[in-house]
Amino acid sequence: MNKKYHRIVFLTGAGISQESGIPTFRSETGLWNNHRVEDVATIEAFYKNPDFVHDFYNQMRKDLINKTPNPAHLALTELQKNFDGEVYIVTQNIDTLHEKANSQNILHMHGQINELVCLNCGKTHTTWGDSSSETTCPFCEREGFIKPNIVFFGEMPLYMDKIETLLKTCDLFVSIGTSGVVYPAAGFVQTAKYYGATTIEINLDMASNNFFFDKHIYGKAGLELPKFIKTLL
């Protein structure tokens, strides 16, 4: 008989959305679309050339708006509906496919593509439309402070206090489709394991922080995750 878990934390990365037709970051046709990371995903680039960065994410918003969840996202929703306990999804993905799959308890630690944040008043708002250095904040009504709500290199990931509490109190931690090279997410498995959780990885191949996982399931998330989730119900 399976161990009974009470609080499960899933960490998802680009690999869970690969079967929805979204390229992962570190693949040959990576998500940065042949741009240098330094030009589109750092806070320095944003301050230096905001409209270039706005345009890059405007295009990404257009690319992502019609993407749909795959069986891996849907399996997490199924688990949340039927599991007698708590299920959290900490995602590094900005694509909103967990929302489109109707999942709950989602923490977007790297932000999300359909949100803009105002660097003047700190408030965020939702849009699938374009933004630019001339966009006005609907709250403080200042122009020139709007930024895509994406966590760039050089910025703090979001919801870290809540995530740390979850990692220390969960009894099962499952990492899906992440290469384990970008911190702090890459270190989550270590925290969860240290505080006593069972740790499992689902990936095409071994992630760089594989040492801390109790078990590896190799294969496509869309195939392996629904099978694994059946064992939890």
Interface residues with ligand OAD (CB under 6 A)?
13-15, 18-19, 24-26, 41, 92, 110, 151, 177-179, 182, 203-205, 207, 220-221
Please give the distance of CA 75 from its chain centroid, rounded to a whole number.
16
Please provide the DSSP assignment of 159-219 as one string: SHHHHHHHHHH-SEEEEES--S-STTGGGHHHHHHHTT-EEEEEESS--TTGGG-SEEEES
Residue 213 Cβ vs ligand OAD, minimum distance, rounded to whole Å = 13
Q: In this structure, what are the phi and psi dihedrals at residue 187, rounded to the nearest 5 degrees?
A: -90, -5
Question: Cα(63)–Cα(73) distance, rounded to whole angstroms?
Answer: 19
| Distance, CA of 111 to CA of 91 (rounded, Å) | 9
Residue nearest to ligand OAD (CB): 15
Asked about 98 being catalytic, the answer comes back as: no
**Closer CB to ligand OAD, residue 26 or residue 35?**
26
For the bound state, the minimum distance from the C-beta of residue 84 to ligand OAD, rounded and expressed in Å, comes to 27
Tell me the closest approach of the beta carbon of residue 214 to ligand OAD, in angstroms.
18
Length of the chain: 233
Question: What whole-number distance in Å separates Cα of residue 93 and Cα of residue 7?
Answer: 22
Selected catalytic residue, list 6, 54, 110, 125: 110
CB of 184 to ligand OAD, least distance (A): 11
Cβ contact 11:17 at 8 Å: no
The one-letter amino acid code at 89 reads: I
Quick one: 67 or 134, whose CB is closer to ligand OAD?
67
Q: How far is the CB of 32 from ligand OAD (least distance, A)?
A: 8
11 vs 197, beta carbon nearer ligand OAD:
11
Q: Indicate the residue among 86 and 206 with the shorter CB distance to ligand OAD.
A: 206
Q: Number of helices and strands (H, E) in the chain? A: 8, 9
Nearer to ligand OAD among residue 111 and residue 146 (C-beta)? 111
Catalytic residue list: 110
